[in-house]
Amino acid sequence: MIIIMLGAPATGKGSVAAILSEKYGIPAISSGDIFRKHISEKTEIGEILNSYISKGDLVPDEIVLRMLDERLKEPDVKNGAILDGFVRTVAQAEAFDKMLKEENKKIDIVVNLETPEDEILERIVNRRVCTNKDCKAVYNTVLHPSKQDGICDKCGSPLEQRDDDTLEKAKNRLNVYHRETEPLVEYYSKTGALYTTTLSSRINRMKDEVAKDVIEYLSNN
């Protein structure tokens, strides 16, 4: 099973992906996690990645596809994967479709999450993440704060704000999303794989309800 999580930054893709991962027993693969791993380890590719990510720009297609191809060849992905942050451009989607076709695989569903833009910006600037790489819990100082300020509830490690979670960089990321990634909505709509839904605290449509609807949709299609 191949599931793609699509949507603007901070729409809740990772949270929904985690629930689906547990349900179907397949890994949730985040491009952000892979990118940050390379950057923190200061690999050669990490230096290249950082030059784009630090400005909120998209990483070139050839680099993204190379990392995705390598990750999908690992043993834990034999039964499928949930992709969060892959793919991000129509060119990547076309290349990924070709990659899957060569292996007699297909995309089962593209979950497109929609959230009001002002709510997205609020989520990003108030987001805090656990510094423990084995935990990676995510909090929000307004919507979902930790019990002790600045400390992870799960493992007790310090929380931090990511370098790219500033208002200026968040606005740039949204502009990049609208320009480069949003055309994928039309692309996947034409393939029949698109499933669009809303995730917003303002209408009480949060990750559990969205994931439940996705699971029901997959069971009926």
Question: Catalytic residues, which ones?
Answer: 13, 88, 127, 162, 173
Residue 76 class from Cβ within 10 Å (0-12 exposed, 13-18 middle, 19+ buried)?
exposed
Q: Smallest Cα–Cα separation from 26: which of 71, 80, 72, 69?
A: 80
8 A C-beta contact, residue 82 and residue 26: yes
8 A C-beta contact, residue 46 and residue 38: yes
Separation of alpha carbons 145 and 37, rounded Å: 25
